Structures are given as C-alpha cells and as structure tokens.
Structure 1
Amino acid sequence: MACGKTFRFFHSSFSSLRSSLFPSSLHRYPSAAQSFSSAARSTAVEHVVLFKFRDFADQFKIDAVMSGVRSLMSLDVVAHITAGPVLSHRSAAAGFTHLLHGRYRSKDDLAAYSAHPAHVAVVEELGRPILEDILAVDWVADLDGPMAPPPGSAMRLTLAKPKEGAESELKEMLAKAKASALASAPTVGTQVSFGENFSPVRAKGYGVGLLAVFPSLEELDAMDAREKNRVDSLEEKFKPLLESSIVLDFVVPPPSTDDL
C-alpha cells in the first residue's frame, strides 16, 4: 500500500495538470523556454530506467556508466537520451540513485537500440559489474514540443503500481485528467506524457508512467509552491487503485566533454 505522503506527490502531479501546469491565464516564460515548446505534436516511445549501484562502486565507474549511456545519442534510432543522478526523491524509491530517460520514434527503434552492440557494451562492460538493481518502464505518449528536452530542463517522474485488477480503471482516470488539463491553455514550455507500460519484465509491477518536463528547476519549484497544501478530490479517487508509487525529480545535465 502506498503511504499517504507518497500518494500526495502522485496526486500532486495530476492536480498540477489542471491548475499549475495549465492555468486559466497563460503564463509566459523567457524566450529560451518558448523555443522548448515550439516543436509540433509528435508520438514518442518513452524509455525510463532507474539504477541502483552496489555499495562498493566508486563514483568514477558510476560516472563512466552515465557517460556511456549519453554517448548512445549518436545512434540513428535514438531521438533523445540523457542520464545522470536523481535530484531528489519524493517517495520511497528503493535506493535508486540514477536515471536514464530516452525517447524513440517507434517501438522498433527502441528494440534496435536495446540490441545495438554499442548499447550492449555499455550494459555489459560498464554497468553490469557495479549494478545492484534496475527498474525500467516503457510507454507510448503523444507529445507537444520537442523530442529532446534541452539541458537544464527539470523532470518529475511518477511511476504507479496499480492494484491487481485496477489497471484499466487507473489508465482511464489518467486519460480523463490529461484531457481536462488540455482543455485549458497550456503553460508555455511544459510537456506532459503518460501511458501504460508495455515492457513488464524489468518494471517490478509498475504499470503506469507519468513524466512532466519543465523548462527549468525554478519552474518545477514554482509549481510545488503553488500546489502546497492543495486538497483535491483526485487523491481519494486514485488512492484505492494504487499499491505503491515512485516519484522523483531529475535535471537534464549539460553536454560533457567526457561524453563520446
């Protein structure tokens, strides 16, 4: 069962869709943020991996894994990929400290990435010797804005593990929440995607993913400030459907000279 605090963060992600992320009066960000939202609507396959490294793993080896992952952006089948340390945990995240976020134009592209020798080399030669655990989810999402969030973008990831038999109802409720949000004027530069996981092998039962991407960490913090102490009926609607959830924040790192 999800604890109350964990669920509130899950609920806050969706109440923000109807209020902070999509206010009745259009909030304006700086021109750099406006360029973030200038791309046309597209369909993307979201790929999120959470990493837990062994206690003995030194930082140099961990950084090498993250750099190796980011170097995979050179593959033609990859539309976007980033990786780095989790900024903050807003729920019990089972010790996961690092995150990979990738986007692909199709499931076939994701499959080609997974099987590519360069990806296999990163996993087998760099990651496997120091990895204790991973959790991975994949879903298909309709995006407003670019496939590749620019460096400095702040992400809030929510993974939900529905109770047995509640998957369809939870997905339907999430679709209605997003539809309600999209009926209002969108916040410039904010991107939201959610969907049902289609790769159960490494998902540990987490069947639904939600990713909210903000132009900057300041905008994410501002959303939190607006949502503080907010009470919404969605909390009571979602709570009976969830076994547990993971909520964490991540900032897209700048390109590094160490990345290939």
Structure 2
Amino acid sequence: MPQPIPSTPPSSPSLLSPPVAVTLIMIPSLRSRAHVLPSLPLAFSRPTLSFRPSSLSVKPLSAAAAAGPTMSASAAPPVEHIVLFKVKEGTDPSRVGAMLAGLNGLVSLDQVLHLAAGPVLQTRSSLFSFTHMLHSRYRTKDDLAAYSAHPSHMGVVKESVLPICDDIMAVDWVADRAPEALAVPPGSAVKVSFLKLKEGLGDAAKGEVLGVIQGIKDGFAQVEQVTCGENFSPARAKGFSIASLAVFKSVEEMEAAAADEEAVNSRKEKVREHLDGVIVVDYVVPELQSASASL
C-alpha cells in the first residue's frame, strides 16, 4: 500500500498518504488539548469561520462525475481518505490557489469516487494547526493505492503541495457503512475527528469507542452521514488510530447539533477514559467551477 504525502514534507516528491478517518467526536472548546482532553470529543463546538470557501477553478468534469456517484444498499462501504495540510505562513495566495486547483483536478481520475479540497474552518488541537483539508473516497484500498501512485497525483504533490506546506497528516479507513451518496454536496459542513487511544487497550474498549461514534447518526437529526473506522495507514497519522467523518447540510446544522449539550455530553462520557488525544477539524465542501466557466 503506497504511503502518500509525508507528515513532514521531504526534499524529494512523495505521495499524498491516505487520511485518517475522523469522527464526529467534538470538543467544546478551541483550547481543548489533544494530549490532555479536558473536554472530550463528541462535544460539538461552534466553529469560528476563519476561512470562507471560495470558488476554485478545476478542469471540467464529465456529466457522470458532476452528478456524483450514489451507492446501492448492497454496495460495499467506500475507503475514506483525508489529508490535512498546514500551509506556510506568508505563502502567496496564488500558490495556495494553484495547490487547491491541482488537488481538486484529481477528481477526474478513474479511481476517485469523490474528491474535494479547500480551507478548514478550524482545527481544535493545541499540538497541530492545519489550514486546508482534502477528502476523497474510493471503492477499494487498491484504488486508493492506484490514485496515490498516479503520475497526475504525484505531479501535484511535487509541484504544488510540498513546496508550500510545513506539515501534512493523512488518515485512511474503510467506512463502517455505505453512505447513501458518495459525493458530498458543495456547501456541506464536514467534521472530521481523529482519536488516539491509550496504550494497552483491548478490542473491547476499541469497539466501545467505535460504537459510540456509530450511534451519532441516530442521536443527532442534523447529521446526514457518519462513517468511522480504524486507520490502516499509520505512517502519516501521528499516532491517531481511529477516525470518523460527519456530514451536515450546512454550518448552521452543525452548530445546531453542537447546541444539544445533553446528547453531546452523554456520548463524551462513554469514551473519555479510553482516549489519549483528539484532533477535530471543521471544513466546508467548496463550490467548484470548471476552468472554462471561469474564463
């Protein structure tokens, strides 16, 4: 399994490594610490909109790709891939735009079921500060490996990503369920959570954490999709082993879920004793326009 993008960009080109799944585990305070966990995940916090997703210019999609794939009830769960980027301070905005355009252009590769990259709303962790996120989906691990090794992907990483990024983190997991729609609509709010379990925990504790995450879809009416799983690409995950991803129709819907403190707190108490660290990233799927439309 190829390991894309390194956590610290090397001098030579490398691939964007598969991302860690993030959960809907939410932390109520921006000062929550990934190593202390005073206020644990599953606490939806109201995001401070430090970034506004802007229209990005990418190459035109086919009609089928633009419509976005859907999954039948019998379809296998997809492979989730998330990459977090920290762009160097003072980077020319045109270079950031070129990076995002290049990443979003990879949606046309045959292996890709869904792909979108854009600025994050916020990262809740005292140890990490990411500025941009890529989320993509694949039918199989082999498809993810083929995407990672594709010359177009490698070219974007070498020419547009590594030269302007200070830090990169990637997590990959097989979703625990097949979402009704594989493509996440533009304007949707996405909450990704990465969990670091305490050392020595057995499968029972791990299963308990995953069970709490899986119950989020039923516990919060605002949630459109939730997937979670164990990261299978540890080399770029900074020690975080469980990931989850929750999709809302909008930032307002995500905030409404965060306001249900009773439901949030009941879930966080169930997993508090098992966790040694949490990273939560909020992100809005950007509106993408074809290159021809932007001329």
- Establish whether TM, by shorter chain, passes 0.5: yes
Q: Are 1:63 and 2:97 counterparts?
A: yes
Matches within 5 A, 1:1-260: 1-5=35-39, 7=40, 10-12=41-43, 40-41=72-73, 42=75, 43-92=77-126, 94-141=128-175, 142-166=177-201, 168-178=203-213, 180=215, 187=221, 190-227=224-261, 231-232=265-266, 234-258=267-291
2 CA distance for matches of 1:229 and 1:45? 29
Checking the alignment, whether the CA contact within 8 Å between 1:61 and 1:126 is kept in structure 2 is yes
* AA at the equivalent of 1:254: E
Per the TM alignment, residue 2 of structure 1 is displaced from its structure 2 partner at its CA by: 2.7
Deviation track 1:87-138 (CA, whole Å, cap 9, x = no partner) reads 1233336121110001001000000000000000000011111111101000
**CA distance 1:181–1:84, shift in 2 (3 Å):** closer
Structure 1 counterpart of 2:201, one-letter code: A
How far apart are 1:196 and its partner, in Å?
0.2
Q: Are the counterparts in 2 of residues 2 and 244 from structure 1 also a CA contact under 8 Å?
A: yes
How far residue 187 of structure 1 moved from its aligned partner, in angstroms, is 3.9
Equivalent pair of 2:191/2:246 in contact (CA under 8 Å): yes
Q: What SS does the aligned partner of 1:143 have?
A: coil
Q: Distance in 2 between matches of 1:123 and 1:68?
A: 9
| Structure 1 residues 130 and 98: alpha-carbon distance in aligned structure 2, compared to 1, 3 A threshold | same
CA separation of 1:178/1:157 partners in 2, compared to 1, >3 Å: closer, same or farther? closer
Letter in 1 for 2:185: P
CA RMSD of aligned residues (A): 2.7
Asked if the contact 1:52–1:133 (Cα under 8 Å) also holds between the matched residues in 2, the reply is yes
Give the direction of change, closer, same or farther, for the CA distance of 1:49–1:149 in structure 2 (3 Å limit). same
1: CA distance between counterparts of 2:124 and 2:86?
A: 16
For residues 215 and 98 of structure 1, do their structure 2 counterparts lie closer, same or farther at Cα, with a shift above 3 Å needed? same
Distance 1:230 1:101, change over 3 A: closer
Q: Is the contact between residue 230 and residue 242 of structure 2 (CA under 8 Å) also seen in structure 1?
A: yes
SS in 2 for 1:161: strand
Q: Residues 219-250 of structure 1, C-alpha deviation per residue, up to 9 Å, x if partnerless?
A: 11111122379532x43332222111101210
Larger helix fraction of residues: 1
Structure 1 residue 12: deviation in Å? 2.8
Q: Distance in 2 between matches of 1:236 and 1:186?
A: 17
**Whole-angstrom distance in 2 between the partners of 1:95 and 1:186:** 28
Task: Could you tell me which runs of 5 or more consecutive residues in structure 1 were left unpaired when the two chains were aligned.
Answer: 14-35
TM-score by length of 1: 0.80
C-alpha distance in 2 between matches for 1:229 and 1:181? 9
Secondary structure of 2:254's counterpart equals helix
Percent of aligned pairs sharing the same letter: 42
Q: What secondary structure does 1:218 align onto? A: helix
CA deviations over 1:14-34 (Å, ceiling 9, x no partner): xxxxxxxxxxxxxxxxxxxxx
Corresponding pairs, count: 233
Q: TM-score when scaled to structure 2?
A: 0.71
Q: Residue 163 of structure 2 aligns to a residue in which SS?
A: coil
> Structure 1 residues 56, 249: CA separation in 2 closer, same or farther (over 3 Å shift)?
same
Aligned to 2:10: none
Alpha-carbon shift at residue 258 of structure 1 (Å): 4.7
